[in-house]
């Protein structure tokens, strides 16, 4: 029997009070109210490194959830992803305090121009020794679009057109602006960089014009390790072309079909199926006995804020869930034809149509594994049997959920070979893929690098006959608030 590689483990988090826990910050054993202190985050990063987690993954949002009840009051009152701080400022502190844990930063393509973003990522990659990943998102909250200078959230199609143009401009800066040997640091002659080996990129796209050159010398990975989540056809096509780690949003039962779809998208983009790693999402409640685990789970459910759950699901499902009576049954809601497409999808998947709407939303927010360390380890092994490459582990209370996992579940997973015993050396990309620090030659960013080198050698302009995307240049930002959600943060 072929030995399987260990799974990738990522700790799913956000620079907020409340992420997936819906009120567990009120527990006396929670440190989540310390979100504005470096001590809490440093302790968490060190815990994750002790547990040999591959990533501390930071989700992000750029606006309060404001669909529930038609305003943002409930989100602010319950602390549901508001307040939310900037993880890019925190990551260098955590990188300084760790040696092997990598950090995934979520930043959406509306947030800042690709020119300044490329510099920020290169700086983070330098300061962390190559332990930086970028989770590419296009935003799903209309308030984010308004706060970033748009009349609302650009349409689904425009956001992906922008994303294609954005990553292409960034790739050119990271991969094609500075030669590998541009920096010579010649103290004798007083020359730090050979000017002939630093180039403009002259990017002209439908949304962004970026002449360059890149402001930062090549970082350990050049292009950061790339994450993406996708659900729509357009999103899956984009993810298959660009991402190195992809998320599947379905449960374990739906994972094999989702994995086939995502790997096929990579192959269709000229990459190998093995070029992408697929991660599922999982929350766990661990007890020394099954009875203790269920008691802990009951305590967590008792302290949960139903309002917080409804706030978040309103954002995910893109409709105001306050319009549904909590006592209405799933069958009644489906029969009256009122739910939107995303809510209808969840309602249709309910195990029992006689459930009340309150039961359904609590179920949707609590689909985690509850059991002994052995039972949790068995569930994780079952995920690997389903073909998954790793898991994004969600906390129910922090840092307790991660402490329980590291101290009780990890030893079993290491013994089974499901979790790595020690880190591999190198950058985030090297640790996860076992290859070099740079993107493989099949990736579009590396193809850009090769193409630019060929054009320069031939004395040709770098952007001649090389359109960035197939869409025409546009200046408008039409609003479409009823779009499929491509990412959850």
Q: What is the pLDDT of residues 3-59, one digit of tens each?
A: 899 999 999 999 999 998 888 999 999 999 999 999 999 999 999 999 999 999 999
C-alpha radius of gyration, the chain, whole number:
23
Tell me the CATH class for 8-302+369-449: alpha beta
Q: What is the pLDDT of residues 450-465, one digit of tens each?
A: 999 898 888 888 765 4
Q: CA 236, 319, 69 angle in degrees (round to 5)?
A: 145
* Joined tokens for residue 305: 């804020």
**Do residues 289 and 408 make contact, with C-beta atoms less than 8 angstroms apart?**
no
Nearest to 266 by CA among 389, 416, 83: 389
Band of residue 268 on the pLDDT scale cut at 50, 70, 90: very high
pTM: predicted TM-score of the whole model, two decimal places: 0.92
**Hey, where are the domains in the chain?**
8-302+369-449, 305-365
Q: What is the pLDDT of residues 361-385, one digit of tens each?
A: 999 888 899 999 999 999 999 999 9
The fraction of the chain above a pLDDT of 90, given in percent, is 79
Tokens 């992906």 — which residue?
160
Cβ count near 137 (within 10 Å): 26
From first CA to last CA, the distance across the chain in angstroms is 39
Band of residue 2 on the pLDDT scale cut at 50, 70, 90: low
Tokens 């009823």 — which residue?
482
Whether residue 482 has pLDDT greater than 50: no
DSSP 223: S
Nearest to 53 by CA among 397, 396, 401: 401
- pLDDT given at position 345: 84
Within a 13 Å sphere around the CA of 200, how many CA atoms are in the beta-carbon half?
A: 10
Tokens 């998320």 — which residue?
247
Nearest to 208 by CA among 171, 237, 155: 171
- pLDDT given at position 479: 30
Instruction: Using CA atoms of 448, 453, 458, 463 in order, give the dihedral in degrees to the nearest 10.
Output: 30
DSSP H helices in 243-278? 255-268
Whether residue 182 has pLDDT greater than 60: yes
- For range 435-457, the mean pLDDT: 93
Band of residue 1 on the pLDDT scale cut at 50, 70, 90: low
**Which of 15-24, 61-70, 197-206, 341-350 shows the lowest mean pLDDT across its residues?**
341-350
Q: H or E element: which one contains 118?
A: helix 114-128
**DSSP letters along 174-209, please?**
HHHSB-TT-EEEETTTTEEE-GGGB----EE-SS-E
- pLDDT given at position 340: 85
Exposure pattern of 155-184 as b/e (b: 16+ CB <10 Å)?
bbebbbbbbbbbbbbbbbbbbbbbbeebbe
- pLDDT given at position 83: 95
- pLDDT given at position 477: 33
Q: What is the pLDDT of residues 214-247, one digit of tens each?
A: 999 999 999 999 999 988 899 999 999 999 999 9
Kindly report the backbone phi and psi dihedral angles of residue 209, in degrees, each rounded to the nearest multiple of 5, phi listed first. -110, 120
Rounded Cα–Cα distance for residues 123 and 283 (Å) = 33
Q: Three-state SS for 236? A: helix
Q: H or E element: which one contains 370?
A: strand 369-371
Band of residue 149 on the pLDDT scale cut at 50, 70, 90: confident
Strand partners, 5: none
User: Which residues, 6 or more positions from 248, have their beta carbon under 8 angstroms from its beta carbon?
Assistant: 254, 255, 258, 259, 262, 278, 279, 280, 388
* Binding-site annotation: residue ranges for FMN: 60, 106, 156, 160, 232
Band of residue 249 on the pLDDT scale cut at 50, 70, 90: confident
The fraction of the chain above a pLDDT of 70, given in percent, is 94
Q: What is the pLDDT of residues 289-323, one digit of tens each?
A: 999 999 999 999 999 999 999 999 999 888 999 99
């Amino acid at each position: 029997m072929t030995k399987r590689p260990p799974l990738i483990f990522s700790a799913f988090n956000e620079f907020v009070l409340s992420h997936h826990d819906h009120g567990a910050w009120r527990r006396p054993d929670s440190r989540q109210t310390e979100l504005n202190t470096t001590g809490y985050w440093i302790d968490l990063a060190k815990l994750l490194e002790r547990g040999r987690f591959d990533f501390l993954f930071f989700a992000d949002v750029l606006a309060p959830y404001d669909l529930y009840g038609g305003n943002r009051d409930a989100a602010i009152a319950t602390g549901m992803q508001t307040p939310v701080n900037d993880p890019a400022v925190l990551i260098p502190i955590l990188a300084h305090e760790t040696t092997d844990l990598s950090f995934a930063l979520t930043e959406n393509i509306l947030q800042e121009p690709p020119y300044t973003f490329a510099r920020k990522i290169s700086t983070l990659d330098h300061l962390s020794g190559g332990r930086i990943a970028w989770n590419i998102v296009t935003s799903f909250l209309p308030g984010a679009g308004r706060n970033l200078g748009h009349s609302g959230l650009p349409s689904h199609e425009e956001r992906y057109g922008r994303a294609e143009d954005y990553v292409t401009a960034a790739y050119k800066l990271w991969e094609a602006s500075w030669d590998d040997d541009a920096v010579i640091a010649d103290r004798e002659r007083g020359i730090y960089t050979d000017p002939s080996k630093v180039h403009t990129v002259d990017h002209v796209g439908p949304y962004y014009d970026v002449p360059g050159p890149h402001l930062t010398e090549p970082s350990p990975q050049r292009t950061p390790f790339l994450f993406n989540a996708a659900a729509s056809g357009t999103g899956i096509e984009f993810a298959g072309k660009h991402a190195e780690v992809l998320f599947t949003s379905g449960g374990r039962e739906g994972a094999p079909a989702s994995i086939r779809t995502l790997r096929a998208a990579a192959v269709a983009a000229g990459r190998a199926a093995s070029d992408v790693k697929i991660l599922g999402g999982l929350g766990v409640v661990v007890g020394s006995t099954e009875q203790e685990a269920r008691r802990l789970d009951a305590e967590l459910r008792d302290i949960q804020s139903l309002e917080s759950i409804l706030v978040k699901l309103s954002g995910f499902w893109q409709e105001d869930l306050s319009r549904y009576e909590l006592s209405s049954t799933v069958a009644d809601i489906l029969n009256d034809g009122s739910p939107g497409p995303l809510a209808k999808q969840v309602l249709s998947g309910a195990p029992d149509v006689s459930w009340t709407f309150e039961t359904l939303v609590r179920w949707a927010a609590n689909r985690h594994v509850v059991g002994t360390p052995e039972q949790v380890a068995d569930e994780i092994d079952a995920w690997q049997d389903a073909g998954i490459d790793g898991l994004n582990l969600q906390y129910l209370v922090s840092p307790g959920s991660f402490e329980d996992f590291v101290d009780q579940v990890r030893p079993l997973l290491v013994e089974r070979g499901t979790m790595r015993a020690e880190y591999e050396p190198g950058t985030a990309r090297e640790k996860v893929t076992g290859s070099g620090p740079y993107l493989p030659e099949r990736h579009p960013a590396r193809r850009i690098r090769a193409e630019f080198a060929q054009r320069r050698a031939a004395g040709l302009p770098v952007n001649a006959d090389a359109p960035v995307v197939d869409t025409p240049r546009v200046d408008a930002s039409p609003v479409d608030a009823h779009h499929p959600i491509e990412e959850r943060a």
